[in-house]
Structure 1
Amino acid sequence: MNKTQLIDALAGEASMSKSDAKKALDAFIKVTSDALKSGDSIALIGFGSFGVSQRSARTGRNPRSGKEIKIAAKKVVRFKAGKSLTDKIQ
């Protein structure tokens, strides 16, 4: 499902216009991104939680040449599914 399909599904499920659904989705993405950037985590009970973790620097290997390369440390976004979401997909 891409963003347009998600907006269509949200509009249908919540009985709102597609433009309102797009605004709501864009606002959710912005608020979530801003919170994660500032180091906060977001917990949606039953759905899951978003957080940021630090990935340490490591040595990798270029698959084409076989040479070792250094991979820099970076922050990554993580999502852990909640129990309700996990139960619904099984």
Structure 2
Amino acid sequence: MFTKAQFVDELKNALPDVLTTKVEAEKTFDAFCAILAKGIESDEGVRLPGVGSFSLKQRPAREGRNPQTGKAIKIPAKRAVKFATAKGLDEALNK
């Protein structure tokens, strides 16, 4: 799995004429992540052609079990990020 540092290095290497320093590449990455998070939080979500789409899904409260004790516990409702791969990426990964 890529770390942030590895991703920033790859980004800088992919765009050497635009991102001349590692600091610029890191700022670009941070801005992209902030914009992505803002878009996911919106009602519309984010669609990245060739990659996939991100959206928020509401998960209802439910009852679960503590695996060590077997005791029933209440798991609160929460919002979770849903990701669906783009058709082209999905096909490329499954060749």
TM-score normalised by structure 2 residue count: 0.85
Unaligned runs of 5+ in 1: none
SS of the residue aligned with 1:8? helix
Secondary structure of the corresponding residue to residue 53 of structure 1: strand
Number of paired residues?
Answer: 90
RMSD (Å) for aligned C-alpha atoms:
1.3
3-state secondary structure, aligned to 1:70: strand
Post-superposition shift, 1:88?
A: 3.2
Further displaced range: 59-68 or 34-43: 34-43
Runs of 4+ with >6 A deviation: none
For structure 2, the 5+ residue unaligned runs are none
How far did 1:74 drift?
A: 0.5
Per-residue CA deviations over 1:8-50 (Å, capped at 9, x if unaligned) read 0111111122111111110011111122223330001111111
Describe the SS at the equivalent of 1:46.
Answer: coil
Q: 1:53-72 alignment to 2 at 5 Å? A: 53-72=57-76
